[in-house]
Structures are given as structure tokens and as C-alpha cells.
Amino acid sequence: MNEQVEEFRRKMAAGEVSARDFIEVVARHNHNGLIGSRYVDEGENWIELALDYDVKLVGDRDSGILASGPITSMCDMAAGLAISKTSGRFLMTVTIDLRADYLRPAKVGNAVHGRMECYRCTRNVAFVRGHAHDGDPGDPIAQITGTFMFLAPLS
């Protein structure tokens, strides 16, 4: 399975596959397969993914509210793709840090969407921000910011 993912990464780097196709293959494997994020939409410098409600992703048994981890995972993946939109290339990045501010809990049963935009790319570092919502983008559940480093500095 990893060969297929690697082939997709190579094609992404060559600009031969869309972010949508990439997500649809990658999201079926590994940790992304466990959380099951899916493609929703994209723009010039942003990507939106979504995570369907799943009881195995719950962080608090009594309330049934999703754990923070899967939301972070989804936003991390969306951020990586948003960076490729802004830099114009699909490059390997590593997360330096990611912060989520939870404005309110997600409604139990609702899918959680994560929209991340890359608003600045330097030679070494990409800066991202975004939000997560559970149906109404005007009423977000979380505000997210992060920084990423390119595995090889941009030339």
C-alpha cells in the first residue's frame, strides 16, 4: 500500500495529480485511514478536508465529543496540502508546531471540517492558519495556527 502512496507523492511533486486524488488515496491508508479524513474543497492557497463523526475517535466517553487528536491530524494534513498550493510545488514538510484553540465543542454526530490556508512561505518555513467547523463555517469550533519546515530549503 505504501508503494501506491509513494507513487502518488511522486506524481504530486510532478504536478500530475490533484490534491483531491491525493487525499482519496492517502486517506485510505495508515493513520489517515484510521481517522478517515476526506476531501471537501480547495482554493488558491487553501484546502478543506472533513472528518465524519466516528465513535472510535471520541475523547470523552461521557459526552461523546471527538478527541482533539483526530482534528489536529486532519488540519495537519490539510496544512501540508495548502502549503503545496501556495509554494506551487508538492514538497515534503515537517510540522514545527500546531496550535488549536477550541471555541466550543463539536456537536456530537456532526462531521468536522478543517480549512487550512498557507498565508506565507519563506525559504525554510511555511505559515498556516485555519479553522474547524461542524456545519456552519460562520460558527467555528476551533481556530488553528501552525508552522512547517521544508525538508529541503526552497531554492
Question: Which residues of this protein are in contact with other proteins, per CB under 8 A?
Answer: 2, 5-6, 9, 29-35, 55-63, 66-70, 72-74, 76-77, 92, 94-102, 105
Q: Which residue number, 43 or 96, has a Cβ lying nearer to other proteins?
A: 96
Cα(124)–Cα(9) distance, integer angstroms: 20
Q: Which residue number, 123 or 151, has a Cβ lying nearer to other proteins?
A: 151
Chain centroid to CA 22: 12
Q: Which residue number, 44 or 83, has a Cβ lying nearer to other proteins?
A: 83
Shortest distance, position 73 Cβ to other proteins, whole Å: 3
Shortest distance, position 133 Cβ to other proteins, whole Å: 17
DSSP 3-state assignment of 82?
helix
Cα(100)–Cα(143) distance, integer angstroms: 6
Cα(91)–Cα(93) distance, integer angstroms: 6
Shortest distance, position 5 Cβ to other proteins, whole Å: 7
- CA dist list (Å): 122 to 36, 44, 76, 102: 31, 17, 18, 28
Q: Which residue number, 50 or 57, has a Cβ lying nearer to other proteins?
A: 57
